[in-house]
Amino acid sequence: MSDTDREDAEAAPPVPLSMSAEVEGYAWVRDTIGESGGAVYRLRDKAGAPDLFLKHGWDAVADAITEEMVRLRWLAAYVPVPAVVQFVRTANEAWLLMTAIPGKTAYQILSSSVAARPAVVDALSAFLRRLHAIPTSACPFSSDHAHRLAIARWRIDAGLVDADDFDEERQGWTVEQVWNGLQELLPLEAEPVVTHGDFSLDNLLIHNGAVVGCIDVGRAGIADRYQDLAILWNCLHEFGPSLQGRLFQQYGATDPDRRKLQFHLMLDELF
């Protein structure tokens, strides 16, 4: 996947006056993947200036952007994440301007080079170990499964869950079937660590063979380690079971907990 596959050129949208000087002179393209109800723009091609990203949204999306901004500022002390250039929030609208991390997504590299795949998985595993090694005592955010289940129930009741977007394994399921399936897997004995929350191949940037940063950290917080392991393991399914097995080997989970994998993947369906 190239940048042009996921971006459409657009005219610059209105921004707060206080942000106008920061974005002046850039060409704007809008990201067409994973916007989650908001708008994501890359600002590029300004002479002598680095690329930037801008996230913008209203209401619940504005709240999510605000949560991401707070987590970006906290995580920056521990792992590479986009730097917050400027943040503007009104009662129902938010703009988050960030630096762009160089490199390609893990998905782009896995898709374009079979030979590079083992090394990519090794790099992802090493970065995940680094993230999970952050002291939980230092983390002010909770993203545990009880918290996420409460949000999931609210999303179900509000009609925000799209059953047509479920993974192949659960195609044809209703939203309530997923919810009931989750209840059958409880109680869950958690191994709390600092998690990313959406540790997927599109959210991890690689340059010169190493993970140089992660993006979309709005769900980061203390949760069971399988919150991240399950999503990455599921993403690697497209590239074959050997890479999925390599993930656990390199991470250090020699006997993966299949029940936890199932639980966290079912829970992710509701977000």
Phi-psi region of 141 (alpha: psi -120 to 50; beta: other; left: phi over 0): beta
Of the candidates 198, 216, 224, 257, the residue annotated as catalytic is 198
Instruction: For residue 211, give the amino acid letter.
Output: V
Structural element, H or E, at residue 48: none
| Residues near 30 by beta carbon (within 8 Å), at least 6 away in sequence | 7, 8, 9, 10, 39, 40, 41
Backbone CA torsion sign across 154, 157, 158, 160:
positive
Active site residue 198: yes
* Nearest by Cα to 41 from 28, 50, 25: 28
Secondary element (H or E) of residue 201: none
**Residue 200: both structure tokens together:** 């997927």
Query: Encoding tokens for residue 260?
Result: 């936890």
- Nearest Cα neighbor of 83 from 91, 93, 95, 73 is 73
Residues 6+ apart with CB under 8 A from 262: 185
Active site positions, annotated:
198
